[in-house]
Chains A and B, each alone.
Chain A
């Protein structure tokens, strides 16, 4: 309470770090996530081979020089797994960011202005939420055709309703708070109230939700790749790799295990990180 005069923001980061330090699972999750992130950013410089380089060593088991073994074309699976991270992060990341931006905007407007507009927006979003997401993605991609842009747009469309609902529920709670009423009493414009009073207080839960969405997006990208609606050969997409490796599972199980393991590891580490994020940003009891 009687804190010395320090800029509040630095203090806050210190508090965050202290809270995170005590959650080992979250720390490990974050560390693994960062490893994948480095793979995505620095992929080509990390791998010994190009992801489509073929060599005479076909169906080589894990060992040296092929850490994760090779596939039926003699491509290095380690290089392909590392290279695949980029696509996952790019597709999942941009879809998540886009969904957060659009979803937040819709949620803010719908929650703040309420009444008729809210009713219409929410019913439309309910329609999207009612359709199973993978099914909707399949239908949309099958009609639109498969491309990176379409993939991102489809995932965005899938996630906007959820993010809009999360934002809306935050706004509904925040707009009855007395500090928002105080802003109305002094005649602030709606824009100021939405972006300066309401949004900053909704950011923490939104960040957590975005992180959850990202882990789902990884899964969705991989699923669509596996079903052949995402990336096309010879792309190192993990889902695609798993699909291609299906026929070789009896003779060369490593072809399937490593990309599938990468998907699982990234999804799990992202959710562990999310968990830590939630703990750091919204500790129990400290914030209402």
Chain B
């Protein structure tokens, strides 16, 4: 912390050198520490940044990088054990750190708006939405009841809330996630703040909802003259809404640049590595290997003495480990904390480098059907009230007649918004919940409904990796026991052989053998998920169901897990049933894709065909919602309003008609659409003929990004 940044004026970077009058937030060399159990952990070290009005600044970093701490510290809103140890924060020209607490509170209330990650917990479930929004105006703008109500309505209109008059009278549970987040944004904006802090505002939302909220943020940015501090782990989101980006790593700013510069020519190996972790679509169907970052983010009480990134950096030299390199200006408005910034390759060269290392010929695949689902239905009867007649009893139609196949050694990707029945389907296939109708065949043989009615061989052959790594391992069992149980039970391995196999499996998922003794609580999220993968593969299954295995992991960890899944597939010829709401991840891993909506498959086929026109209108909407990690890309803007309808009240006719942007007319509302065959191995379920769909839609939505990448 003693190093003195050379060649840096005191003014925040990215603005005019002398420091613009318009600078709203100016953080200078801020250091924040947390006191825990007698130790002081430096969570943020020597970070400077400046945001002007009308500017949106993206703060990017993985979990534990200190992004939220930095933002909260800047407005002096840290947790009780957090302390600012050095630095200055100027907000509208005043040093917040020198103001009395009372005044800081008033600044926070009136001049700063805050949007949190989860809209459902940011609002009080027992108070009407309108009152909650108006409350802010009454409290901070000292408005009367009627005036505050007017103001709340006005704000809801400002955030493009459909039918605000009706919305103000509703309770939070009656609104969809996107509408809730709009309410939260309205609350943040109601005092007309100069600074808007958004902390992962779309992370808890579905892709389709995320797209709508991101559109709103982008639109607000151009309309308001507030400064926006946008915190996220997702570079693709940054590309959509930010002008300037700072990359945080382990509490230090490692690179800062304008959006386009950062994406086209990153000058810090960490930024480059983050870009490399993101799966990209390739029209030729060749799936590039994802780049990963070896090791993990250092813990705050054992920070390296030199460059924080040096232990994981492929470019690190002796000098990097010896002393901490300062963040310095290396181009116009471009700062990097890398000593060897000139040696950082371009993204294109980097990705190429990684791809050439994969032997794609080794992947030879069969077309034999491994798992078949025929008209699988999963209806959950509502536990009726005692007095309701039986006839009126409804059922939740979570999965409503699904037919699909998984081929040997292949991957079927299953996509859809939450509530589309993906997980329920997986649970029915593996036998956790017996399906209410339909048949499941494995290698041509009909399977029992639940695991209790399936033979050992079948159990051995189908395994599963769950979504939440924290819940999927028993916190009281050491890792070794978790992995050895399937070996013991399903393959009859005993004694010394058992211990040897456990070591092998740990090695296969790139974990040291010593981890066998550890309890899950001592592992990071990514490591837990690796253990879960090892446990699934311990039985040497022919099919592994993966239920959103990536969604709770950091970007860099996601990449390495996808590589791991891919390697294991190549090695063991395992088939995957891969569920995800992340289309980029699905296309990266899948040979076939099934698109699900409200309990039904609406489009199914070869991955390349499904992601090329013609699309089912729902697939098209999903694709256009996926944020692309490239600021140069212009995507079509098809947006779905509202949430997936309740599976209790499935709309008649085509179940997508309530949200479909391409509704033909009454036929969609009354008749269930037929399956039609598209080009290649590709089927979709729509009234609009394929040829017409193709004409309606533009060229491949995702391939746009590939063309741009060439440059």
Taking beta carbons and an 8 Å cutoff, which residues of A are in contact with B?
1-3, 5, 7-8, 18, 177-179, 181-188, 196-197, 200-201, 287
Q: How far is the CB of A262 from chain B (nearest CB, A)?
A: 38
Which residues of A are found within 8 Å of B477, using beta-carbon distances? Answer: 179, 196-197
Residues of B within 8 A of A182 (CB): 464, 466, 472, 532, 535
**A201 near B517 (CB under 8 angstroms)?**
no
B392 at the interface (CB under 8 A from A): no
A-B contact pairs, 17 of them (CB 8 A): A1-B524, A2-B299, A2-B302, A5-B517, A8-B522, A18-B37, A178-B472, A179-B472, A179-B477, A185-B430, A185-B464, A186-B489, A186-B539, A187-B454, A187-B489, A187-B490, A200-B476
Other contacts beyond A181-B432, A185-B430: 15, CB < 8 A: A1-B299, A1-B523, A1-B524, A2-B296, A8-B478, A184-B451, A185-B459, A185-B462, A185-B463, A186-B459, A186-B489, A186-B490, A187-B490, A200-B476, A201-B474
Other-chain residue from B431, B473, B517 in contact with A179 (beta carbon distance below 8 A)? B473
B332 to chain A, nearest CB (A): 39
Chain B residues with Cβ below 8 Å from A177 are: 471
What are the residues of chain B within 8 A of A186 when measuring CB–CB? 459, 463, 485-486, 489-490, 539
Shortest beta-carbon distance, B488 to chain A, in Å?
9
In Å, the complex CA distance between A80 and B454 comes to 65
Nearest chain-A residue to B545 (Cβ)? A185
- Tell me which of B463, B475, B478 has the highest count of chain A C-beta atoms within 10 A of its own C-beta: B475
Q: Closest residue of chain A to B302, judged by CB?
A: A2
Complex Cα distance, B456 from A287, in Å, reads: 34
Whole-angstrom distance from the CB of A10 to the nearest CB of chain B? 12
> Is B94 close to A, CB under 8 A?
no
- When chains A and B are docked, how far (Å) is the Cα of A233 from the Cα of B184? 70
In the complex the two chains form, is A188's CB within 8 Å of B485's CB?
yes
**Nearest CB on A from B615, distance (A):** 33
CB distance from A101 to the nearest CB of B (A): 20
The list of the 7 closest CB pairs from A to B, nearest first, reads: A178-B472, A178-B466, A200-B476, A179-B474, A178-B471, A187-B459, A186-B486
Residues of B within 8 A of A5 (CB): 514, 517
User: In the complex, what residue of chain B is closest to A174 when comparing beta carbons?
Assistant: B474
- B173 interface hit (Cβ, 8 Å): no
Are A8 and B519 touching (Cβ within 8 A)? yes
Please indicate the chain A residues that have their CB under 8 angstroms from the CB of B473 in the complex: 179
A187 to B461, CA, bound (A): 12
Q: In the complex, what distance in Å separates the CA atom of A181 from the CA atom of B471?
A: 10
Residues of chain A with a CB closer than 8 A to B490's CB:
186-187
With an 8 A cutoff between CB atoms, is B154 at the interface?
no
Contact partners of A181 in chain B: CB under 8 A: 432, 464, 466
Chain A CB within 8 A of B192 CB: no
Quick one: closest B residue to A176, CB to CB?
Answer: B471
B518 close to A (CB within 8 Å):
yes
Which A residues lie within 8 Å of B482 (CB)?
179
CA distance A201 to B473 in the complex (A): 12
Question: Does residue B468 face the partner (Cβ distance < 8 Å to A)?
Answer: yes
Counting chain B residues whose Cβ lies within 8 A of the other chain, the interface size class is: 35 or more
Give the one of A178, A200, A287 with max B CB within 10 A.
Answer: A178
Chain B residues in 8 Å Cβ range of A201 = 474-476
CB-CB under 8 A from A18, the residues of chain B are 37
In the bound assembly, the distance between CA atoms of A200 and B519 in angstroms comes to 13
A228 CB to nearest B CB, Å? 46
Inter-chain CA distance A3–B521, complex, in Å, is: 11
* B456/A187 in contact, CB under 8 A: yes
Q: Of residues 305 to 362 in B, which have CB atoms within 8 Å of A's CB atoms? A: none
CB-CB contacts of B493-532 with A at 8 A, as 1s and 0s? 0000000000000000000001001110011100000001
Within the complex, which residue of A1, A178, A188, A287 is in contact with B489, where a contact is CB–CB below 8 Å?
Answer: A188
B141 CB, min distance to chain A CBs, angstroms: 35
B518 and A8 contacting across the interface, CB-CB below 8 Å: yes
CA distance A184 to B451 in the complex (A): 7
Which of A2, A179, A181, A185 neighbours the largest number of chain B CB atoms within 10 Å of its CB? A185
Q: Using Cβ atoms and an 8 Å threshold, which residues of chain A touch B431?
A: 185
Docked-complex contact B476 and A178, CB < 8 angstroms: no
Are the C-beta atoms of B459 and A197 separated by less than 8 Å?
no
Chain A residues with Cβ below 8 Å from B296 are 2
Bound complex: CA of A1 vs CA of B471, how far in Å?
A: 18
Most chain A CB within a 10 A radius of its CB, from B432, B456, B467:
B432
Cβ–Cβ < 8 Å partners of B535 in chain A: 182
A7 to B485, alpha carbons, bound, how many Å?
21
Q: How far is the CB of B302 from chain A (nearest CB, A)?
A: 7
Contacts of B474 in A (CB 8 A): 179, 197, 200-201
Q: Which of B426-477 contact A (CB under 8 A)?
A: 430-432, 451, 454, 456, 459, 462-464, 466-468, 471-477
Contacts A2-B302, A178-B471 given; does A184 touch B432 at CB 8 Å:
yes
Q: Does the CB pair A183–B463 fall under 8 Å? A: no
In the complex, what residue of chain A is closest to B532 when comparing beta carbons? A182
CB distance from B423 to the nearest CB of A (A): 11
Chain B proximity of A185: nearest CB distance (Å):
6
Q: Write the chain B residue with the least CB distance to A204.
A: B476
Shortest CB-to-CB span from B594 to chain A, Å, is 22
Q: Which residues of B contact A8 (CB under 8 A)?
A: 478, 517-519, 522
**CB-nearest residue of chain A relative to B459?**
A187
A2 CA to B303 CA in the complex, in Å? 12
Q: Report the nearest B residue to A179, measured CB to CB.
A: B474
Query: A187 touching B472 by the CB < 8 A rule?
Result: no
Question: Are A1 and B485 interface neighbours, CB within 8 A?
Answer: no
Complexed CA–CA distance, A177 and B451 (Å):
16
For residue A178, which residues in chain B have a CB less than 8 angstroms away from its CB?
A: 466-468, 471-472
Q: How far, in whole Å, are A2 and B512 apart by their CA atoms in the complex?
A: 13
Nearest CB of A to B6, in Å: 33
CA–CA, A201 and B520, complex, Å: 13
User: Are B522 and A3 in touch, CB under 8 angstroms?
Assistant: yes
Give the residues in chain A near B472, CB-CB below 8 Å.
178-179, 182
What A residues does B466 contact at CB under 8 A? 178, 181-182
A167, B468: Cα distance in complex, Å:
24
Q: Please report the C-alpha to C-alpha distance between residue A200 and residue B474 in the assembled complex, in whole angstroms.
A: 9
Q: Which residues of A contact B522 (CB under 8 A)?
A: 1, 3, 8
Kindly state the separation between the CA atoms of A201 and B476 in the bound complex, as whole angstroms. Answer: 7
Closest to B473 in A: A179
Using a CB-CB cutoff of 8 Å, which residues 349-388 of chain B contact chain A? none
Proximity string of chain B (271-298) to chain A, C-beta cutoff 8 Å, 1 when within and 0 when not = 0000000000000000000000000100
Closest to A180 in B: B474
Q: Complex: how many Å from CA A201 to CA B474?
A: 8
- B301's nearest neighbour on chain A, judged by CB, is A2
Cα(A177)–Cα(B473), bound, Å: 9
Nearest CB in chain A: distance from B203 CB, A: 20
Interchain nearest-CB distance for A182 vs B (Å)? 6
Q: How far is the CA of A181 from the CA of B459 in the complex (A)?
A: 13
* Shortest distance from the beta carbon of B480 to any chain A beta carbon, whole Å: 12
Complex Cα distance A12/B334, Å? 47
Task: Tell me the complex Cα distance, A55–B24, Å.
Answer: 88
Report the bound CA distance from A60 to B302 in whole Å.
67
CB distance from B165 to the nearest CB of A (A): 40
* Minimum Cβ distance to chain A for residue B442 (Å): 14
CB of A19 to closest CB in B, whole Å: 10
| Complex interface: chain A residues within 8 A of B467 (CB) | 178
Query: Complex Cα distance A115/B489, Å?
Result: 28
Closest to A182 in B: B472
Bound-state Cα–Cα, A3 to B514, Å: 12
Q: How far is it, in angstroms, between the C-alpha of A169 and the C-alpha of B464 when the chains are bound?
A: 26
A185, B451: Cβ atoms closer than 8 Å: yes
A181 to B489, CA, bound (A): 15
The residue among B478, B485, B518, B524 with the most chain A CB atoms within 10 A of its own CB is B485
| A17 vs B223: C-alpha distance when bound (angstroms) | 56
Indicate if the CB atoms of A187 and B468 lie closer than 8 Å.
no
Chain B positions within 8 Å of A188 at CB level: 485, 489
Please name the residue on chain B nearest to A190 by beta carbon: B452
The distance in angstroms between the C-alpha atoms of A97 and B354, with both chains bound, is: 62
Complexed CA–CA distance, A7 and B459 (Å): 33
When distances are taken between beta carbons in the complex, the residues of chain B under 8 Å from A287 are: 475
A179 contacts B471, C-beta separation under 8 Å: yes
